[in-house]
Amino acid sequence: MAKLHRYRLRVTWTGNTGEGTRSPRGYSRAHTIAGEGKPPIQGSSDPSFRGDPARWNPEELLLASLSACHKLWYLDLCARAGVVVTAYEDGPEGEMAEETGGEGQFTRVVLRPRVTIAPGSDAHAAEALHESAHRMCFIARSVNFPVLHEPVIVTG
pLDDT in tens, the chain (156 residues): 789 999 999 999 999 999 999 998 899 999 999 999 999 999 999 999 999 999 999 999 999 999 999 999 999 999 999 999 999 999 999 999 999 998 999 999 999 999 999 999 999 999 999 999 999 999 999 999 999 999 999 999
| C-alpha to C-alpha distance for 37 and 40, rounded to whole angstroms | 9
Q: Strands 114-117 and 147-149: what pairing?
A: unpaired
* pLDDT, position 126: 98
* Other Cβ atoms within 10 Å of 129 Cβ, number: 24
| C-alpha to C-alpha distance for 50 and 53, rounded to whole angstroms | 9
Kindly calculate the radius of gyration of the chain based on its CA atoms and give it in whole angstroms. 19
* Other Cβ atoms within 10 Å of 121 Cβ, number: 19
| C-alpha to C-alpha distance for 86 and 66, rounded to whole angstroms | 21
Q: Strands 152-155 and 147-149: what pairing?
A: unpaired
Calculate the CA 51 to chain-centre distance: 19
Pick the CATH number of 58-155 from 3.40.605.10, 3.40.1010.20, 3.30.300.20, 3.40.50.300: 3.30.300.20
* pLDDT, position 1: 76
Instruction: Report the SS3 class of residue 99.
Output: coil
Q: Strands 85-89 and 147-149: what pairing?
A: unpaired
* pLDDT, position 56: 96
Report domain extents, the chain: 10-49, 58-155
